[in-house]
Amino acid sequence: MIFMTTRTHFTCLLLFLLIAGTVIAGCTNTGTQAGTAVQNRTTTTQAALAGEEQPLKFGELWLITGFDPMNSGVFITEKAIVTEALIGADQDFKLIPNLATTWRRTSPVTWEIALRENVSFHNGQPMTASEVKFSLDRAARLNAQNRQFMDYDSSRVIDAHTIEITTSKPNPILPEALHYPNMAIIHPDSLDAAGNFTTPIGTGPMVFDSFDQQTRTFTVKRNPHWWGGPVQLPGMVMTGIPDSNARALAIEKGEVDFTVDVPMNEVQRLNDLPGVTVDTYLTPRVYRMVVNFQRPALQDKRVRQAISLAINRDDIVDHVLYNVGAPARGLYIPSMAWFNTSMQALPYDPEKAKALLAEAGYRDTNGDGIVEKDGRPFTIDLVSAQERPGLPPMSEAIGQYLKEIGIDARVEIMASAASTDRQKAMNYDLLMVPANIAMIPDPGYIIDTWFRTDGYANSGKYSNPTLDARIDDAKQTDDLKERYAKFNKIEADIYDEMISIPLADYGVTIAHKDTVTGYRFDPTAHDLRMDANMTLTG
């Protein structure tokens, strides 16, 4: 018997040792792995450059899975800067010349575009209208989204540096659509004889060097003949690090020189580290809640307004987003040329919210803290994806805000694939979405796709023929000032109706070592655009 009791104690001891052992092993493992990774990378880059200038080590947000601009333009055009689009955009989202110098609408459905001369591809061939036609035809043929953005029908080579694009219907924002990174220009030799995309041959400041399928590491080096002038950055080694904590560790341990979107609560700590700087910018992305208009309760404007009034956006930005972002003001972000400065931030007023609910017929009759209508408690399904780090805690906080005005909010957080399924099945009441608002730099982009009856991102199935007619009218307005004014009026009405519930503007954090200087942020890009004129010292 004594033997057995000793055995019990022995088992406990063993268990403790096991747990302690696992914890210690876990810690040291990460340490050594990180160490080896750094070593490996240093040796490869040393071998590659044989003591020349060091490339920038960039910790990308997503795993690098493809680099064909037709569908991975965000990576190859914005992050790797190997390819370029015809048209660029300024810091306030106004279009500027890029590979195209001028563009002109010659009839409701045709556009004449003049191309920049003296631009050459990375293989030395000059860029002419025929490569541009090849690239646009290909982008529109292989990707439905590209086709929709451009309303692309065909294009015609007029001369070596002029091309005419015909749209399937009048599209006043074709130039804006050409800014989209998927519409980047490539040389036909990017494809092999069988027509498969193998090597990205673009015109950008960086030249494709290698892609390792095993590690998904993508390397580029300086283009010495870039039309934009001398390129500062010698090259980049790019690896996807999808976990935000891992990205923070990578910059802290010196595994990367430059990374994006570190955990919001660590911004301050990382910034305080010697040799590391973290900057926060606003990107054209907003956190919002899509409202399911097939649910009778949510068809009542007062209920939607009550939900909005229940949410303290200032506290969410301060304490959930750690000031990486800003409370929503209208549908757009302040840096956009068409931002309406008379828009007010949405107020927090739980008392008014309760009053609105009562007015709509929801009252707490049985004293359980949840309001009822026709004897049934008011419950709301709040569905959120978990991938963007701000979403899960924000959803939990909003669930609690709704409980405080008497709505029984059931928060469900899931992988984005699952939440997309729920959205398609219309199986939600409110859906948290971090949506890009400038895939096309024009105010009409989100209004047309989110709120028009047949808009392809109209997830809540909102339908209002009067609004549709106003959107159509605004879309066909050519004069920019008039166009912006029309869309701002629509924006104000949507804001008042709470057709979707805006929460906060999305902030992006850029963490880089102090040896990286001169980075210029491009607010029109998806999360970020790399800057070829950064310098890397030491």
Partner 1 sequence: MSEPLTTIPPVWKPKAEQTAETSSGRWRREIRRRPGFQIGLVLLGLLVAAAICAPLIAPYNPGTTNLKEKNQGPSSAHPWGTDYLGRDLFSRTLYGAQTSLLIAFMTVGIAFAVGTTVGCMAAYYGGIVDEGLSRCVDLFLAFPGIIFSLALLGLIGAGVLNMVLALALSQWATYARLMRGQVLSVKNMDYVLSARTGGLPDRLIMVRHLVPNAIMPVLILATLDIGHVILATAGLSFLGLGIPPGIPEWGAMIGAGKEFIRMAPLNVIVPGLAITGVVLLFNILGEGLREILDTREEQVIPL
Query: Which residues lie near partner 1 (CB under 8 A)?
Result: 1, 4-5, 7-9, 11-12, 15, 19, 244-245, 263, 265-266, 269, 312, 315-316, 318-320, 386, 389, 392-393, 395-397, 399-400, 403, 409-415, 418
Smallest distance from partner 1 to CB 240, Å: 19
**Quick one: 80 or 383, whose CB is closer to partner 1?**
383
One-letter amino acid at 110 equals T
Whether the CB-CB separation of 227 and 116 falls below 8 Å is answered with yes
Smallest distance from partner 1 to CB 1, Å: 6
**Quick one: 159 or 421, whose CB is closer to partner 1?**
421
**Long-range contacts from 465-474, C-beta under 8 angstroms, 24+ separation:** 467/493, 467/494, 471/444, 471/447, 474/444, 474/447
- Rounded to an integer, what distance in angstroms lies between the CA atom of residue 223 and that of residue 208? 9
**Quick one: 40 or 379, whose CB is closer to partner 1?**
379
- Rounded to an integer, what distance in angstroms lies between the CA atom of residue 282 and that of residue 304? 27
Strand 100-107 with 110-115, pairing? antiparallel
In degrees rounded to 5, what are phi and psi of residue 208?
-60, 135
Q: How far apart are the two ends of the chain, measured CA to CA in Å?
A: 69
Beta bridge partner(s), residue 58: 238, 258
Closest C-alpha to 56, from 206, 228, 204, 200: 206
**Quick one: 131 or 266, whose CB is closer to partner 1?**
266
Listed in sequence order, the residues at least 6 apart from 394 whose beta carbon sits closer than 8 Å to its beta carbon are: 287, 316, 320, 321, 384, 432, 503, 504
Beta bridge partner(s), residue 100: 115
Whether the CB-CB separation of 270 and 514 falls below 8 Å is answered with no
Smallest distance from partner 1 to CB 292, Å: 18
3-state secondary structure of 241: coil
- Count CB neighbours of 29 within 10 A: 10
Smallest distance from partner 1 to CB 294, Å: 20
**Quick one: 111 or 401, whose CB is closer to partner 1?**
401
**Quick one: 54 or 384, whose CB is closer to partner 1?**
384
**Quick one: 1 or 50, whose CB is closer to partner 1?**
1
Smallest distance from partner 1 to CB 297, Å: 19
Residue 444 CB-half CA count within 13 A: 24
Smallest distance from partner 1 to CB 140, Å: 37
One-letter amino acid at 148 equals Q
Whether the CB-CB separation of 527 and 261 falls below 8 Å is answered with yes
Whether the CB-CB separation of 60 and 79 falls below 8 Å is answered with yes
**Quick one: 7 or 489, whose CB is closer to partner 1?**
7
Smallest distance from partner 1 to CB 391, Å: 11
Strand (E) positions, 399-520? Answer: 408-414, 430-436, 500-513, 516-517
**Quick one: 352 or 403, whose CB is closer to partner 1?**
403
Sign of the C-alpha dihedral computed for residues 77, 78, 84 and 89 taken in this order: positive
**Quick one: 144 or 415, whose CB is closer to partner 1?**
415
Smallest distance from partner 1 to CB 400, Å: 4
**Quick one: 88 or 392, whose CB is closer to partner 1?**
392
- Unique residue bearing structure tokens 């037709």: 70
**Quick one: 136 or 317, whose CB is closer to partner 1?**
317
One-letter amino acid at 183 equals M
Smallest distance from partner 1 to CB 351, Å: 18
Smallest distance from partner 1 to CB 396, Å: 5
In degrees rounded to 5, what are phi and psi of residue 305?
-65, -35
The size of the chain, in residues, is: 538
> What H or E segment, with its residue span, contains residue 259?
strand 258-260
3-state secondary structure of 352: helix
Smallest distance from partner 1 to CB 5, Å: 6
Smallest distance from partner 1 to CB 386, Å: 6
